[in-house]
Amino acid sequence: KWTSDPYVKFKIAGKEVFRSKTIHKNLNPVWDERACLLVETLKDPLYVKVFDYDFGLQDDFMGSAYLHLETLDVTLDLKDPQYPEQNLGSLELAVTLSPKEGDVKDTYQSLRLSDVHRKAQLWRGIVSISLIEGRGLQPMDANGLSDPYAKFRMGHQKYKSKTIPKTLNPQWREQFDFHLYEEQGGFVDITVWDKDAGKKDDFMGRCTVDLSLLSKEQTHKLDLPLEEGEGVLVLLVTLTASAAVSISDLSVNMLDDPQERHQITQRYSLWRSFHNLKDVGVVQVKVIRAEGLMAADVTGKSDPFCVVELSNDRLQTHTVYKNLNPEWNKVFTFNIKDVHSVLEVTVYDEDRDRSADFLGKVAIPLLNIQNGERKAYALKSKELTGPTKGVIFLEIDVIFNAVKAGLRTLTPVEQKYIEEEPRVSKQLLLRNFNRVRRCIMFLINVGCYINSCFEWDSPQRSICAFVIFVIVVWNFEIYMIPLALLLLLAWNYILIVSGKDTRQDQAVEDLLEDEDEEFDKDDKDSEKKGFMNKLYAIQDVCISVQNALDEVASYGERIKNTFNWTVPFLSWLAIVALGVATVLIYFIPLRFIVLIWGINKFTKKLRDPYTIDNNELLDFLSRVPSDVQVVGELSFLT
């Protein structure tokens, strides 16, 4: 195809100050965009570079030129510095140079921060995309199949689907949303790739969705043939307006108006529970001010701005320059898609020379919010594990429909596609290991408690357990399972209301204790040779995980080898045992079998006080060799 998708970058003194939108499939693009740039000196020219947008691959360089601010040539001939004789076309600019009056920084918003990625802009609508399936994709692997996944990109918003292994007709069934910033629509670029472990993924084809051709408030089923490849992608695309997402000043907000608040309350009343099930509710966040922020600049000040996020919705305040106690007085309004979402408010320091500096963050579950309460929240670290300097004052109101929220709970959680890539962390690894260990220890303690009833360590407890066991088994009906869970929830609720339940507090204390221990260890490690200490700590965790994985894998392989006749004697023994069990269960009701088993377990210690407790099934499996043991035996024989 003899065309391009050009966009333009502008740089001053080596830093990017503006990036244009992409004009698709056009060699004579018309951008018609306006940018206001702050220039410190006229001696630094404006460096202009043109690129061809290429989704999934590196963008192609199409030429560059310098705009000298002292002469202001409005027609720039594009050149390639390596091949200066080539004619790469020209750019037409309209440039106005004005003197700086007063403190321009009060009104200047860094274009890099308010996005090149459009993270802080208000969107005009939402593009809801459901990736359904692929048909007849190109085989890329030696087995005649592929491991396909799809990448979506609209402007600077990206989404990557899960990988479906070994198929040419993948069924994804994934749904996600993009924000629509332009009234006339835009383009969604889609590429399909074959996942290859250990080497570069293979390109399988591409296609494009022109949103300007789709009508709004209607779901469109699209069968998109893949260019430069084989097969078809099937999508469902819906364009909807986003009326309830806004930024306003503190003096102008809808929930402070009684009439407006009443209308919104009526909109989410129980009488409208089955009208537009996706519209669960609305949350309004008043970002008032912050106090005592960390100084991020060498001047002892910061240039703070605030980012408010709810799932994939993200809005941003203006920047308050040279201030550690900024006042924003802004009101943010979001649609609620899932009432279990967490509202995140993050404070950054704007730095036009590099990426923004993190100053602090708070995360507030929507269900924990008390409406209309103006509250000071202590800022925490990125991982929310410890405090940083400063507090932020917020006032939050949440209005939602309980029925819609309950139904939404039974659908998949919306995937967050702006999350950072996970990184290896020794502290996180140790914390997760301790969490798993606590869960396992809880199960072990429960098992020990039940076993103590069989062992008659406490005659009174064993008698009670025996009576309860006989009554429950004799009268058991299937409805008793949810009833037991219901009673457990009710019992825990009574304990919490009465203030007698301290288990949740204990769990939080355990987590904080782990964090403190790791923090102390890290401090000591930094004072001495901490590398070896960290290495040993990770080694201990890895050994424990290694042993646990070996145990689980061994039992799985032993069950498999029982049915594979790896040891014929044990397989014949299993046939006899399963045959007897089949006959017994066929002729004797299960209730009586469980009752006989329980009576035997309870009375075994009474009949023979010196008997050794055992589990017959685990004893049998311990005789079956695992795959590792089978390989070792074969090696010994050869």
Which are the contacts of 356, defined by CB distance < 8 A and separation ≥ 6? Answer: 113, 305, 348, 349, 350
Helix (H) or strand (E) holding 180, with range, is strand 171-180
Encode pLDDT of 494-540 as tens digits. 988 887 766 655 655 565 555 555 444 444 444 444 566 666 766 77
Encode pLDDT of 468-499 as tens digits. 999 999 998 999 999 999 998 999 889 888 87
Helix (H) or strand (E) holding 233, with range, is strand 232-241
**Cα separation, 573 vs 166, whole angstroms:** 38
Encoding tokens for residue 266? Answer: 């009526």
Encode pLDDT of 286-336 as tens digits. 999 999 999 888 788 888 988 888 877 777 788 888 889 999 888 888 888
Which are the contacts of 575, defined by CB distance < 8 A and separation ≥ 6? Answer: none
**Cα separation, 201 vs 148, whole angstroms:** 10
**Cα separation, 198 vs 201, whole angstroms:** 9
Encode pLDDT of 54-105 as tens digits. 765 667 888 999 888 877 777 888 988 888 888 888 888 888 887 765 444 4
Q: Which residues pair with 240 in a beta bridge?
A: 126
Q: What is the DSSP string of 317-369?
A: -----S-SS-EEEEEEEEEES-TT-EEEEEEEE--TTSSPEEEEEEEEEGGGP
Percent of the chain with pLDDT over 70: 83
Encode pLDDT of 411-444 as tens digits. 877 766 545 555 666 777 777 888 888 888 889 9
How far is it between the farthest Cα atoms of the chain?
A: 105
**Interior/surface letters 333-370, b for 16+ CB within 10 angstroms, e for the rest:** bbbbbbbebebbbbbbbbbbeeebbbbbbbebebeebe
Domains of the chain: 6-101 (2.60.40.150), 125-241 (2.60.40.150), 253-409 (2.60.40.150), 432-476+529-638 (no CATH)
Q: What are phi and psi of 226, to 5 degrees?
A: -85, 125
**Cα separation, 199 vs 162, whole angstroms:** 18
Encode pLDDT of 225-241 as tens digits. 999 889 999 998 888 76
Section 33-61 average pLDDT = 79
> The pTM is what?
0.57
Residue 287, exposed/middle/buried by CB under 10 A (0-12, 13-18, 19+)?
Answer: buried
